[in-house]
A and B are shown apart, each in its own frame.
Chain A
Amino acid sequence: MGIKGLTKLLADNAPKAMKEQKFESYFGRKIAIDASMSIYQFLIVVGRTGTETLTNEAGEVTSHLQGMFTRTIRLLESGMKPVYVFDGKPPDLKKQELAKRYSKRADATEDLAEAVEVHEYSVGNKEDIEKFSKRTVKVTKQHNEDCKRLLRLMGVPVIEVSLDMLLLKQRPNVLHFVNQTRHVYAVASEDMDSLTFGAPRFLRHLMDPSSRKIPVMEFEVAKILEELNLTMDQFIDLCILSGCDYCDSIRGIGGLTALKLIRQHGSIENILENINKDRFSEGERCCCVVGELILSHSCLDYHIDYETGSLWCFASQVTNTKYQKIGHIKRLDGCLRNQKSSLTKSNLILSGLLQDEEGLITFLVNENGFNSDRVTKVCLLSVMAKISPGIEKVKAAKNKSAQGRLESFFKPVSNTSGPVKRKEPKCVLQSPKQAFKPRMFSLQACNSSMPNFTGSLRLPSLALGLKHSPPLSRGVCFSA
């Protein structure tokens, strides 16, 4: 899941794009939420003891509904306007990854069976059972449909779209739908892929229980691009190079190298074209790896279609020393066409669905035994108490008048007094080690909006020789 090491890369290279925010400060904002991941989390966590989960009378799992219901209420109560985004059809390539996950799950099922068997003889491996049973969790179509129905009944918009990095690469303008429709303030997910989906911001840890007191991490895409000095397309390339769901990253190319290569060549296509020269001139190991990749293209099925400028393939898996083909991207037009129709649909849904109170009760209580089910009575007690106030809450939250923000009245101006203009040579020479200490200190002591002790910026930028160093060095001078 996600892009390897991207958080760290951004923390080092674009610290200003990351901000810690309070959950409460997102009131009034439309937030797109990765529904599939949420459902998965619910199925794993909600109401689980050992292999038992929340079920209704028919024995169907209802953990996801319980989780979705309470979480959505929490969001509505805080004044946010959630929009749930469900995965559409996965692209062909993702099927490879899905197959891998499937086989992992199969393994876990066996382990689980084993653990349960052992359990009959010995007491004490309950933890094992729980661990393995968590791994066997699978989100089915039914789960998705249930949740969609619940959300529609609650009057929360639902969008179905395949948001995927690789698709973005193909048709950016189609997929920047979030931006186009101008409905969404941010995308909330734990999956860093979401950064590339075109919403102006990306939120992490939004859904963490409030008891854990983890601040929401906000990434502002425009600032990332500005600080990394990349265009959106280049950023997507960077994410792909650093590794994504489909392909392992190329050996020797981590985030930093990927960033460097993108800066140098502009796009993945150019990297592929130019990498040979680099191989000889620079002799850098990573470049050799890519170079080899190209040289050995006879055994690697890659393909760039220059006409459309889009079809490319980087699906390689490194097994020890050999690159093994695991598949490549076929035309995804089919997927995209489906998407277009769902886009128009989603607009309709966004324009507002009325909540259906009776339907909600029927669905939760009558159909899914949220009210009186003996088997899961422990968990249900709390549900019973919650259901009717819950509906009240949904109603109340929707009638709230909105709190205005100062930005709608006052416009930002460039800071006249500006950062300090102290120009001491010693500040440039400040050692990164020193710089890290205050930063650690800050995280413990302030627990608030990501204070950047400036010295820490220096570490990565030294290695890279960034083009945009002037603002950075100004910051460094400040801290030195």
Chain B
Amino acid sequence: MLELRLVQGSLLKKVLEAIKDLVNDANFDCSATGFSLQAMDSSHVALVALLLRSEGFEHYRCDRNLSMGMNLGNMSKMLRCAGNDDIITIKADDGSDTVTFMFESPTQDKIADFEMKLMDIDSEHLGIPEAEYHAIVRMPSAEFARICKDLSSIGDTVVISVTKEGVKFSTRGDIGTANIVLRQNTTVDKPEDSTIIEMNEPVSLTFALRYMNSFTRATPLSNTVTISLSSELPVVVEYKIAEMGYIRFYLAPKIEEDEEETKPQI
């Protein structure tokens, strides 16, 4: 028996909008601690990790660990039927192959039930080690979205380099090049507008802008975004979800082509 009641239903809607273009099908894992998801895109370049802690729900009942395979496109279709102020309740019975989304309007005068079929998804679960990152950049999420959008009109890839001076986003395309440098800036009125750069070592990595742009769909979830970079690791782009958890995107960097054969991938 599973019953999760989320007063701020729009959060779930936003989460789905943020990930549905990146991942088609995914297993939602429910445990006593929270509602989570880990999924990779079809080419295994990007990974989404979502956590909504149980404390964030008004009512959270999960009798035993449960993994529910859902098609995110279909789930998003259903959630789009919920109003922005609606309270969303996720329900699943033991042994059932469906999940029910219940939408209650704030005035309790309208209650809608949507039942969706579950799927069996064979997905690999990757172990993501806790790592010390060489550089961590915290910046306004809208600013990051803007940069990614602007750069993608010039080139396909972005080089993110963090130095003492600040963080530089640069790209190169047929029509020319673009460089955007952000400096540390903590002297703003609102703390969420500040740009904070913590750097242990300078780092420079190349990423596909296509994926970065798809990550920025999570911008409505949070005012700030945290980008963690290390030279041997995928970048982590994290959006905090109001006191409930986070949505993290991992993206494998582009590597300079090596003529030598790499190890076989089996």
Contact = CB atoms under 8 A, between A and B. Distances in A.
Nearest to A453: B119
A416 B71 contact: no
A423 B126 CA distance: 27
A413 B254 contact: no
Interface string B72-116: 011000000000000000000011010000000000000000000
Contacts of B69: 451, 478
B44 A409 contact: no
A446 B76 CA distance: 12
Contacts of B27: 415
A418 interface: yes
A276 interface: no
B42 interface: yes
A479 B208 contact: no
A102 interface: no
Interface string A404-436: 111111111111111111111011000000000
Given A412-B126, A414-B125, A417-B29, A438 B265 contact: no
Contacts of B259: 352
A7 interface: no
A407 B208 CA distance: 17
B95 A406 contact: no
Given A409-B252, A427-B95, A479 B25 contact: no
Given A413-B127, A420-B66, A422-B94, A438 B255 contact: no
B42 A22 contact: yes
Nearest to A442: B119
B44 A446 contact: no
Nearest to B230: A409
A401 B258 CA distance: 9
Nearest to B205: A404
Interface in A438-480: 438, 441-442, 445-446, 448-449, 451-455, 475, 477-480
A479 B97 contact: yes
Interface in A231-256: none
Interface in B243-263: 250, 252-259, 261
A197 to B, nearest CB: 15
A183 B126 CA distance: 25
A404 B254 contact: yes
B66 to A, nearest CB: 6
A480 B234 contact: no
A475 B120 contact: yes
Nearest to A424: B95
Given A400-B257, A477-B95, A406 B126 contact: yes
B124 interface: yes
B122 A25 contact: no
B213 interface: no
Given A183-B261, A420-B67, A452-B120, A405 B125 contact: no
B119 A413 contact: no
A445 B120 contact: no
A24 B41 CA distance: 12
Nearest to B119: A451
B163 interface: no
Contacts of B119: 442, 451-453
Contacts of A407: 44, 126, 265
Nearest to B71: A446
A400 B206 CA distance: 12
Contacts of B256: 401-402
A318 interface: no
A361 interface: no
B118 interface: yes
Given A420-B67, A446-B24, 10 more contacts: A22-B42, A401-B255, A404-B45, A406-B234, A409-B252, A413-B127, A418-B67, A419-B67, A421-B64, A446-B71
Report the 4 A-B pairs with minimum CB-CB distance, sorted nearest first: A25-B43, A424-B95, A404-B252, A413-B127
